[in-house]
Structure 1
Amino acid sequence: MELKLSASYDATPEEVFAIVTDTTFREQACEKTKALSYDVQVSQSGGDTVVRVKREMPADDVPDIGKRFVGPTLTVVQTETWHPAKPDGSRDADVSGEIANTPVTLKGTAAIRSDGGQTVQAIDLDVKVNVPLIGRKMEPFVVDAIRSGLAKEHDLGRDWAAGNH
C-alpha cells in the first residue's frame, strides 16, 4: 500500500537536511511518537549520510487481527540513505524499514526540494504486510500508524526550523 506525505518548512534545503540528519532531532522525534526506547545512529558512507532509527513502540493500537503477530511492543527499524546535494541544494534518499520479527516492510524514497521561499520534504513509501489473506487488511492500519508518526516528526521539524528546540 502506498503512503505519500510531505511537509513544508520555512527554511532552506540545507537547513532541512541538517535537521533531519541531526541525532538530537531524531531522538526528540522518537520521544514525541511515544517510543519506549530508541537508538539513533547518523553516519557517513562515501558521500551519503545514513540515518538509522530503531525504536520500540507500544503495540496498543494494533488491531486484534494482527496482535498474534506482534506481541505487546513493536520494534521499528528505519534507514534513510541521503545522497549528496544537487547544485540547487535538493537531496534524495532511499528509505527502507521493517517492524522486526513481523512480516511488515517498507521501501521508498524521500526528497528535500526548494519550492519558492520554502522547502518541501516529501516521502513516498510502499508498505507491505506479507501475510496471506489478512496482509491487505492490515496494511491500512500500518500506513495510518506510519503517517501519524511522520506527521508528528514533521511538526517537530517545523519547530526546529523556527529555532524552537
Structure 2
Amino acid sequence: MELKLSASYDASPEEVFAIVTDTTFREQACAKTKALSYDVQVSESGGNTVVRVKREMAATDIPDMARKFVGQTLTVVQTETWRPAAADGSRTADVTGEISNTPVTLKGKASIGAQGGKTVQAIDLDVKVAVPLIGKKLEPFVVDAIRSGLQKEHDLGREWTH
C-alpha cells in the first residue's frame, strides 16, 4: 500500500537536511511519538549520510487479528540513506524499514528540495504486510500508524526551523 506525505518549511534545503540528520532532533521525534525506547544513529558511508532510527512502540492501536503477530510492543527500524546534495541543495534518499519479527516491510524514497521559496520534504513509501489473506486488511492500519509518526516528526521539524 502506498504512503505519500510531504511537509514544507520556511528554511533552506541545507537547513532541513541538517535537521533531519540531527541525532537530537530524531531523538525528540521518537519521544514525541511516545516511543518506549529508541536508538538513533547518524553516520557517513561513502559520501552518503545514513540515518538509522530504531524505536520500540506500544502496540496499542493494533487490530485483534494482528495482535498474535506483534505482541505487546513493536520494534520499528527505519534507515534513510541520503545522497550528497545536488547543485541546488536538493537531496534524495532511499528509505527502508521493517517492524522486527513481523512480516511488515517498507521501502521507498525521500527528498528535500526548494519549491516556491520554501523547502519541501517528501516521502513516498510502499508498505507491505506479507500475511496471506489478512495482509491487505492490515496494511491500512500500518500506513496510518506510519503517517501519524511522520506527521509528528514534520510538526517538530517546523518547530526547529522557527
* Band of TM-score, shorter chain: over 0.9
Q: Within 2, Cα distance between the matches of 1:48 and 1:141?
A: 32
Aligned-residue Cα RMSD (Å) equals 0.3
Give the structure 1 partner of residue 22 of structure 2.
Answer: 22
Residue 117 of structure 1 and its aligned partner are, at CA, apart by 1.1
- Mapping 1:2-151, distance limit 5 Å: 2-151=2-151
Q: Within 1, Cα distance between the matches of 2:127 and 2:60?
A: 20
Q: Within 1, Cα distance between the matches of 2:51 and 2:143?
A: 21
**TM-score normalised by the chain length of structure 2:** 1.00
Q: Which runs of 5+ in 1 are unaligned?
A: none
Q: Within 2, Cα distance between the matches of 1:48 and 1:94?
A: 11
Q: Within 1, Cα distance between the matches of 2:129 and 2:98?
A: 10
> Secondary structure of the equivalent of 2:60?
coil
Q: Within 2, Cα distance between the matches of 1:141 and 1:41?
A: 27
**Equivalent position amino acid for 1:160 in 2:** W
**TM-score normalised by the chain length of structure 1:** 0.98
Residue 160 of structure 1 and its aligned partner are, at CA, apart by 0.3
Residue 113 of structure 1 and its aligned partner are, at CA, apart by 0.8
> Secondary structure of the equivalent of 2:74?
strand
Q: How many residues align?
A: 162
Q: Percent identity?
A: 81
**Equivalent position amino acid for 2:7 in 1:** A
**Equivalent position amino acid for 1:136 in 2:** K
Q: Structure 1 stretches (4+) deviating beyond 3 angstroms?
A: none
Q: Which runs of 5+ in 2 are unaligned?
A: none
- Mapping 1:146-161, distance limit 5 Å: 146-161=146-161
